[in-house]
Chain A
Amino acid sequence: MSRELPLWEVFVRAKNGLSHRHVGSVHAADARMAIEGARDVYTRRLEGVSLWVVPSDAITASDPGEAASLFEPAEDKVYRHPTFYVVPDNIKHI
């Protein structure tokens, strides 16, 4: 059997002013064909105005096993949020 066509992750910008968002993947021989495939698969109903395709193997993901050490330290740092600070009601525009 022939080689499997490479996998590309697809990102769509729904409209200008918004970021591209991951929507899924397509198989294609090269970037140009991945864009064309992604256009047919993910934007048949005006879902976007711009596409990104990225070779799937170029993405490095964080390890869910490290999620605790990566993200939980933020939990006890409430002082990073504005609501942590008490300001009297009569002080405006702050």
Chain B
Amino acid sequence: MYVQEVKTASLGDRPVPVVVEDPARLAAFEARVAADEFVEPKDWMPEAYRKTLIRQISQHAHSEIVGMLPEGNWIGRAPTLRRKAILLAKVQDEAGHGLYLYCAAETLGVSRDQMTQALLAGKAKYSTIFNYPTLTWADMGTIGWLVDGAAIMNQVPLQRTSYGPYARAMVRVCKEESFHQRQGYEAVMVLAAGTPEQKAMAQDALDRWWWPSLMMFGPPDDQSPNSAQSMRWRIKRDTNDELRQKFVDITVPQAEALGLKIPDPDLRWNEEKGGYDFGTPDWDEFFAVVSGEGPMAHERLTARREAWDNGAWVRDAAMAHADKRTARVAA
């Protein structure tokens, strides 16, 4: 559910220069992409395009997979059987999203195991949002509403991203995200209309998730050095700040309808621009979390490593079984 490609954790980074490619091929490629044609796996593409895509798609995939952890944590504690079934289905969808994306990245010549190892080694990034803890049941509703809501905002334009397999994966993902956001909003609605304690719980969750959700769109445009290249290659279709503004504009009325208050003293309607003015997220916190300093970063990676290690014997046994059957057929 995360698509904001993060090159490195520091603000001062220069854009990646386009490596020396055959100028004629490069020009033909750029013209195709500028004409909104799709690029398919076996087509010629500049190395920098391939690398950027591998990084962005695998980060996106890792985010879906790591994103299962904060919610999976509440499956056993969902308040009703209905909520439990919904949450299970949502978390299973996120696994599916991760797999659609890994398979899109694999068409670029990187293997699944390489991507998994990069994640487990702490070398790959995933969305900062999943390095925050899920403290109460209200967090489940709020994540669906805000985090999946921000993901939708990011992912909808990517259905037209220039790389075909990525775009097709996004079409599948977007079809499923709407359920995620609506079930979340509905869960918050129930709390907001509940007892004073329940309403306070919903407000507390909004207070904690609001700013991290705004950060999901990535650093401000003037501090996002790779954006221009990615826009030119149609890997990215809107700037971080444009998407963030859109998100604020549609989310504020949703919060008002719930009777909840967005935790931003600078938030006010700007008639002239036809959108809200809002405060600045704490970007120092963002970059700290990107580089693995989030409150839950260690726990998230530990959980993924354990899952991988504990599943090793199953993968090995399945392969041994398949080998044995192949040998028997051959004999």
Contacts and interface: CB of A to CB of B under 8 A. Distances in A.
B36 interface: no
Interface string B290-314: 0000000000000000000000100
Given A30-B325, A64-B43, A5 B96 contact: no
Contacts of B93: 44
Contacts of B117: 1
Nearest to B104: A24
A64 B43 CA distance: 6
A75 B149 CA distance: 45
A27 B117 CA distance: 16
A53 interface: no
Interface string A29-46: 110010000001110110
A63 B169 CA distance: 23
Nearest to B320: A29
A47 B107 CA distance: 23
Contacts of A44: 89, 92-93, 96
B322 A4 contact: no
B40 interface: yes
A94 interface: no
Nearest to A31: B322
Interface string A1-25: 1111101000000000000000111
B319 A25 contact: no
B283 interface: no
Given A2-B319, A29-B321, 7 more contacts: A1-B113, A29-B315, A30-B318, A30-B322, A41-B99, A44-B92, A45-B176
B318 A33 contact: yes
Given A29-B315, A63-B42, A24 B169 contact: yes
B269 interface: no
- For the complex of A and B, the 8 pairs showing the least CB-CB separation, nearest first, are A29-B318, A30-B322, A29-B322, A25-B103, A4-B113, A24-B103, A64-B43, A29-B319
Max count, chain A CB within 10 A of own CB: residue among B89, B168, B316, B318: B318
B246 interface: no
A36 B89 CA distance: 17
Contacts of A3: 319
A5 B319 contact: yes
A23 B176 CA distance: 15
11 contacts: A2-B316, A4-B112, A24-B103, A25-B106, A29-B319, A30-B318, A30-B325, A40-B92, A41-B96, A44-B96, A64-B43
B315 A64 contact: no
Task: Say what secondary structure dominates the interface of chain B.
Answer: helix
B42 A64 contact: yes
A3 B317 CA distance: 11
A41 B100 contact: yes
A5 B103 contact: no
Contacts of B44: 64-65
A20 to B, nearest CB: 16
A76 B312 CA distance: 57
Given A2-B319, A5-B318, A61 B96 contact: no
Nearest to B323: A29
B42 A61 contact: yes
Contact of B111 (A4, A25, A33): A4
Nearest to A47: B172
Interface string B78-98: 000000000001001100100
A26 interface: yes
Nearest to B317: A29
B305 to A, nearest CB: 13
A92 B27 CA distance: 51
Name which of B93, B100, B169 has the most chain A CB atoms within 10 A of its CB: B100
A40 B100 CA distance: 12
Interface in B105-125: 106, 111-113, 117
Contacts of B316: 2
A33 B176 CA distance: 24
